[in-house]
């Protein structure tokens, strides 16, 4: 066997061997340690980057859920708002619809309609506002409250802009002005296209 026995080596050979070991250690310290340190630092940066990516993805998921619920809420509100609009291809049809609903509510509440004025129409862009005035009378004050309640719950929506009620003897006479809104046929088509 050719095993090296340190006692059989001369002093000079031992010094050369010791010097070789020292050179190897210095080489490892100058080359190996920086490489190991750099690899460790790169690995730590990679782990930190992955953790940041995970946090960002979780934030995006929460944000997506929030925006999804907001979109659904907005679509519900839009559907409710559109349900509150009158429809008709002309202003005369919208005016007639408002007058019909107002007369039906008055009859359901037990009011006697004295007169209805000609509806006033105001157009702005794709929107149409129709204002309808009606005068009525009744002997039961509760009928007036029921009438206002029916207007408040009506679909499409009617909004009361003016209301007056006078009493003379056993009769109540009043006047009411309501408004309803409609969109032009062109605007309704554009809105449907945007939703799809």
Same domain? For 36 and 112 the reply is: no
Among 153, 139, 152, smallest CA distance to 111 is for 139
In this prediction, residue 34 has a pLDDT band, given cuts at 50, 70 and 90, of confident
Same domain? For 95 and 76 the reply is: no
Same domain? For 79 and 108 the reply is: no
Same domain? For 137 and 162 the reply is: yes
Same domain? For 103 and 182 the reply is: yes
Same domain? For 48 and 127 the reply is: no
Would the pTM of this model clear 0.85, i.e. be above it? no
Structural domain of 176: 91-194
Same domain? For 120 and 143 the reply is: yes
Same domain? For 45 and 136 the reply is: no
| Angstrom distance (rounded) from CA 89 to CA 179 | 18
The total domain count for the chain is 2
Same domain? For 35 and 54 the reply is: yes
Per-residue pLDDT tens over the stretch 65-83: 889 999 999 999 888 878 8
- The residue out of 32, 67, 83 marking a domain boundary is 83
What average pLDDT does the segment 187-193 reach? Answer: 49
């Amino acid at each position: 066997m050719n095993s090296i026995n340190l006692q059989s080596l001369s002093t000079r050979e031992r010094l050369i061997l010791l010097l070789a070991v020292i050179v190897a250690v210095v080489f490892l310290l100058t080359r190996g340690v920086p490489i190991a340190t750099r690899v460790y630092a790169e690995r730590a940066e990679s782990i930190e980057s992955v953790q940041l990516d995970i946090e960002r993805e979780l934030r995006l998921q929460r944000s997506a859920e929030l925006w999804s619920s907001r979109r659904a809420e907005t679509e519900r509100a839009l559907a409710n708002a559109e349900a509150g609009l009158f429809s008709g291809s002309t202003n005369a049809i919208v005016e007639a619809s408002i007058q019909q609903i107002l007369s039906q509510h008055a009859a359901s509440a037990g009011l006697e309609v004295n007169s209805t004025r000609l509806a006033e129409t105001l157009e702005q862009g794709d929107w149409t506002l129709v204002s309808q005035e009606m005068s009525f009378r009744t002997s039961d004050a509760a009928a007036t409250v029921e009438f206002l309640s029916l207007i408040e719950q009506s679909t499409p929506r009617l909004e009361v802009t003016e209301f007056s009620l006078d009493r003379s003897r056993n009769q109540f006479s009043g006047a009411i002005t309501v408004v309803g809104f409609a969109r032009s046929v062109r605007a309704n088509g554009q809105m449907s296209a945007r939703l799809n």
